Amino acid sequence: MRIYAIAVYLFLYVPIGIIVLFSFNAGRHASELRGLSVQWYGKALSNPFVGDAFFTSLVVALSVAILSSLMGTAAALALQRLKGTMRVLFDGLIYVSVMIPGIVIGIATLVALVTVFDFLNPLLASIWPEGVKPPKLHMGYASVIAAHTLFTMSLVIILVRARIAGMDRALIEASMDLYATPWRTFYQVTLPQIYPAILAGFLLSFTFSFDDFIISFFVAGANTTLPIYIFASIRRGITPEVNAIGTMVLAVSLFLLMSAQFFLRARTYR
Partner 1 sequence: MKELSKPNRWLTAVLLAPTTLWFLFMLILPLIVILIFSFGERAAVGGYGGGFTFEHYLNLPARLKAFQNTMTFAPIGTLLCLLVAYPLAYYLALKVDRRYKLVLLVLVIVPFWTSLLIRTYAWIYLLGGRGIPSLLELIGFEGVRLINTPGAVMIGIVYGYLPLMVFPIFVSLEKLDRSLLEASSDLGGSPFKTFMQITLPLSMPGIATGCMLVFILLMGEFLIPAFLGGGKIFFIGNALVDLFLQSRNWPFGSAISVTLVVIMLVTVSLYMRMTLRSNTGRDESLM
One-character DSSP codes across 182-230: HHHHIIIIIHHHHHHHHHHHHHHHHHHHHH--HHHHHH-TT---HHHHH
Q: Residues 240 to 269: which contact partner 1 by CB under 8 A? A: 242, 246, 249-250, 253-254, 257, 261, 265
Report the alpha-carbon distance of residue 74 to residue 144 in Å, rounded.
Answer: 22
Candidates 42, 88, 115, 124; binder of partner 1 (CB under 8 A) is 115
Q: Least separation, in Å, of the C-beta of 47 and partner 1?
A: 17
Q: Residues 67 to 96: which contact partner 1 by CB under 8 A? A: 70-72, 74-75, 77-79, 81-83, 90, 93, 96
**Contact between 50 and partner 1 per CB under 8 A:** no
**Contact between 42 and partner 1 per CB under 8 A:** no
Q: In degrees rounded to 5, what are phi and psi of residue 234?
A: -60, -40
**Contact between 136 and partner 1 per CB under 8 A:** no
Choice between 137 and 214, CB closer to partner 1: 214
Candidates 61, 144, 198, 204; binder of partner 1 (CB under 8 A) is 204
Candidates 25, 205, 207, 239; binder of partner 1 (CB under 8 A) is 207
Nearest to 96 by CA among 87, 105, 85, 106: 105
Strand partners, 25: 36
Report the alpha-carbon distance of residue 34 to residue 31 in Å, rounded.
Answer: 10
Q: Least separation, in Å, of the C-beta of 156 and partner 1?
A: 10
**Contact between 28 and partner 1 per CB under 8 A:** no
H, E, C per residue of 96-144? HHHHCCHHHHHHHHHHHHHHHHHHHHHHHHHHCCCCCCCCCCCCCHHHH
Report the alpha-carbon distance of residue 27 to residue 37 in Å, rounded.
Answer: 9
Binding mask 160-199 for partner 1 (x = CB under 8 A): ----------------------------------------
- Which range in 39-47, 163-171, 193-201, 214-222 contacts partner 1 by CB under 8 A? 214-222
**Contact between 138 and partner 1 per CB under 8 A:** no
* Cβ partners under 8 Å of residue 186, min gap 6: 77
Q: Give start and end residues of each alpha helix (H) in 138-181.
A: 141-165, 169-177
Q: Least separation, in Å, of the C-beta of 245 and partner 1?
A: 9
Candidates 108, 142, 158, 162; binder of partner 1 (CB under 8 A) is 108
How many residues in the chain?
270
Q: Least separation, in Å, of the C-beta of 131 and partner 1?
A: 30
